[in-house]
């Protein structure tokens, strides 16, 4: 088995995958062994360019995948330090058990966002203020 290197892979499905890769050439047919592969996409808008990173296979707990070379269009080793750092940060966040799933449009409310109390509590405070009752 060959040495590991960071690689960008274009597969026949059209996806671009970033992964730590090792090439196994011990058999008649060479295979790629991918460690923690992620799909990368770039987006551009008026504010700039962005990279979206997500797991290649989203609902799997496996870290290693085997891909036959006939499923690969091209691959290239990357030595881009920012890209490698982003990949490693993403992988380490995932291993820490951070919940990446957020239902669409739902955001938790915090005091940083201006949340002070519930509507009911605020109503009671205002009524007490109006009546001249001091809070303890």
Q: What is the pLDDT of residue 99?
A: 45
| Rounded distance between C-alpha atoms, residue 116 and residue 109, angstroms | 10
pLDDT tens-digit profile of 105-127? 666 666 666 777 788 888 988 89
Q: What is the pLDDT of residue 110?
A: 67
Q: What is the pLDDT of residue 60?
A: 85
| Rounded distance between C-alpha atoms, residue 65 and residue 52, angstroms | 21
Class for domain 5-104, per CATH?
mainly beta
| Rounded distance between C-alpha atoms, residue 51 and residue 55, angstroms | 13
Q: What is the pLDDT of residue 11?
A: 92
Q: What Rg do the C-alpha atoms of the chain give, in angstroms?
A: 24
Domain residue spans of the chain: 5-104
Q: What is the pLDDT of residue 7?
A: 94
| Rounded distance between C-alpha atoms, residue 31 and residue 71, angstroms | 10
Q: For 57, what's the count of Cα atoms within 13 Å in the CB-facing half-sphere?
A: 11
pLDDT tens-digit profile of 89-99? 888 875 444 44
| Rounded distance between C-alpha atoms, residue 98 and residue 77, angstroms | 29
pLDDT tens-digit profile of 2-22? 789 999 999 999 989 999 999
pTM of the model: 0.61
């Amino acid at each position: 088995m060959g040495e590991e290197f960071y690689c960008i892979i274009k597969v026949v499905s059209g996806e671009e995958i970033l992964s730590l890769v090792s090439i196994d050439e011990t058999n008649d047919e060479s295979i790629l062994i991918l460690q923690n592969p992620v799909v990368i996409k770039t987006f551009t808008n008026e504010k700039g360019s962005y990279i979206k990173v997500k797991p290649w296979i989203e609902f799997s707990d496996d870290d290693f995948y085997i891909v036959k070379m006939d499923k690969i269009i091209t691959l290239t080793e990357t030595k881009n330090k920012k890209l490698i750092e982003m990949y490693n940060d993403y992988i380490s966040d995932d291993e820490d058990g951070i919940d990446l799933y957020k239902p669409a449009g739902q955001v938790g409310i915090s005091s940083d966002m201006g949340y002070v109390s519930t509507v009911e509590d605020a109503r009671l405070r205002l009524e007490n203020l109006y009546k001249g009752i001091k809070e303890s």
